[in-house]
Structure formats: C-alpha cells, structure tokens
Structure 1
C-alpha cells in the first residue's frame, strides 16, 4: 500500500500562524537549549521578512547591513529580490547572533559553522511548535503569517507583493482575501 501525505486542510484549519502564535513560537525557541538565540532569531526573521526555508538558510552576513539597518533578501522560486528594513529587535538579535557565531559566513549556522539544512529548520520549527502547543506547525506558515499580518494591517496589495517577492499578484491576493478588515463595515450596531 502506498503512503500518501494527508492534505494540509485535513491537518489544520488554516495555513498561517496568528501573531500571538508567532510570539509563542519565538518564546518556545528561546527555551530550547544552547542554540536558542539562533532558533528564535530564525523564526523572528522568517516571520518578519516572509522567508521561505531555503531563503533563510542561504542568508549570509554580507546581506545584513547593520549601519543601514537593512537586509537583502534573495528570493527563490523566481521571486523578486528586495532590500528590507531591519527594526531594533531584529538588529539586536542579529548582532548577538554574529557575536555568538563569529566565524560563520551564514547567518543561521550549524555546529560546524556551515549553513543549516532545510531539514534542520523544519525540525526546529516543529519542536518549537510542540513546546508552544501549536499543532502541525511548519516553517512555511511563518511566510504565510507575514502575508496575512501585512494584509490585516491594511497594507497595499502591490506593496505586499513586492515585500514577499511575488512575480504575480495572484500569489499575493490570497492574503488580502482573508484580511478581516475587508468586512468591517458590513454591519453597524
């Protein structure tokens, strides 16, 4: 008998995490042992910049501009690269991470100083999800969480498209379609 992976909709009601779930995931990662700074920073940046797993593991220190408070994101899947601003909490975490792993070319490094594998990232996020009591948690939910968060804040769909590196707006409208503010004026009590 052939094993078939269950469909996502059969495992969870939605494919994105809510902001409070992301916070719980980061807090869980902060409690996970000697690589807690790396793991929590990985989750924070994946959420804030809508990173795919492959994009996160490929980040190198030369993409981070501390003086300019920005980070260059090279997108996969034929996505458009972009330079994103870095905020205070991200800069502090990255500076601490660079101090902790000074000899690595990669932002998110393994025990030997090389880049983390995508498999390792999946395990980190899954483990943090278990600690945070978030069922069936996976890294791509952080990218979706970024898109839904920006849409729920009312940001322009074209700006979200560019931020996430989508070539086609059809990949971006999924976030605005579920934004709760779309329906806020339907009923007046």
Structure 2
C-alpha cells in the first residue's frame, strides 16, 4: 500500500463506483461525493444536519472545524442528484425524523468510525492502490481545484484554511501550473 495522502480524481470515481454496489449505495455515494466536492473533514460531514442544506436555493452551509472559516458552498448538479436520491431513500431508514443528514441503519448519526470503515471498504472493492480514508478526499478536493487552475487564495477560502501555508501544498506540487511556461 502506498503512503500517499490524497486520491486522484480517477480514484474518487472508482470509489464512487464501488459505493454503488455496497449495502447503502444512495447514502454512501452521496457522502463520498459531498465529502470530495466540499473538501470536508470526517467530523464536518458527519455533523451535517438537514437544516444545513437548502435544496431550493442550491446551497449548503459548511461548518469548518479546527478554527477554520465556515462558509456557504453551492450544491452542484451531480451532488444535487445524489442528495435528492439519498434524501428519498433516507425516509425508509429508522430515525428518519432525526436532524442528522447521514444516518446509520440503526437510525443514529453516522459515526466517524463508520465513515472511515465504509470509505476503506469501498477502496478495497475498487481495487485502489491505497487504503482510502476520509481525509484523502479532502486532499483530493484541494488537488483537483489546483488542477483546474484555481487560485491559491480561492482554494484557501473553499477549504476554510485560516493559514495559507496549509493550502500551498495543493498548488506548489501541481505540475499543471508549469504547462504554459514555454
């Protein structure tokens, strides 16, 4: 197993494909996709409540931990679809009247440990070279934004970093920034 600390975009896609064949595909696909798209820490995503999501307005409130900047992110088309599918399936879960977005089969808030286990299991089913964990999706988000040519300050704001030194990692090691030099 590699000691790499992030997933590539193709690995995230493989992780999502593997999640489709798990026991809770609607929940797991939604969780993985949203964790990646918003660069969430595991404790941020398992703390989401239904009230944090405005499907009509197309926004989600991201409450950052570790003294990070909390903000509102847009909900993108693919994630809106995954979220709508999950919310419909969620109605059949025990505890569906709960405020938590992601529920376990027992009706409780999905625990950090369970999120780690489901992402690890999906990475094994996907045949990834790394044993994935939730923080790798946060780093994957940062690297994907850098690959898209996003400015370091924008990535900093998007991930909620107070110190830009935590963000430079994504842009400093990005080969794409050198493509137009010559």
Which category of TM-score, normalised to the shorter sequence, fits these structures?
over 0.9
Q: Does the 8 Å contact 1:42/1:108 carry over to 2?
A: yes
1:84-126 alpha-carbon deviations (Å, 9 max, x no partner): 0001111111112112123231111112222111000000000
Runs of 4+ in 1 over 6 A off after TM superposition: none
In the alignment, which residue of structure 2 is the partner of 1:162? 157
In the alignment, which residue of structure 2 is the partner of 1:110? 104
SS where residue 172 of structure 1 aligns?
helix
TM-score w.r.t. length of structure 1: 0.89
Q: Which deviates the most, 133-142 or 74-83?
A: 133-142
In the alignment, which residue of structure 1 is the partner of 2:41? 52
Q: How many residues align?
A: 176
Greater Rg by CA: 1
In the alignment, which residue of structure 2 is the partner of 1:98? 87
SS where residue 64 of structure 2 aligns?
coil
1:2-26 alpha-carbon deviations (Å, 9 max, x no partner): xxxxxxxxx5252111111000000
Tell me, in whole angstroms, the C-alpha distance in 2 between the residues paired with 1:87 and 1:73: 14
Q: Does the 8 Å contact 1:105/1:114 carry over to 2?
A: no
Structure 2, unaligned runs of 5 or more: none
Tell me, in whole angstroms, the C-alpha distance in 2 between the residues paired with 1:87 and 1:136: 27
In the alignment, which residue of structure 2 is the partner of 1:177? 172
Tell me, in whole angstroms, the C-alpha distance in 1 between the residues paired with 2:99 and 2:86: 12
The two structures, once aligned, show a CA RMSD in angstroms of 1.2
Structure 1, unaligned runs of 5 or more: 1-10
In the alignment, which residue of structure 1 is the partner of 2:140? 145
Matched, 1:19 2:9: yes
Q: Which has the higher contact order (CA 8 A, sep 6+)?
A: 2
Q: Does the 8 Å contact 1:37/1:97 carry over to 2?
A: yes
In the alignment, which residue of structure 2 is the partner of 1:122? 116
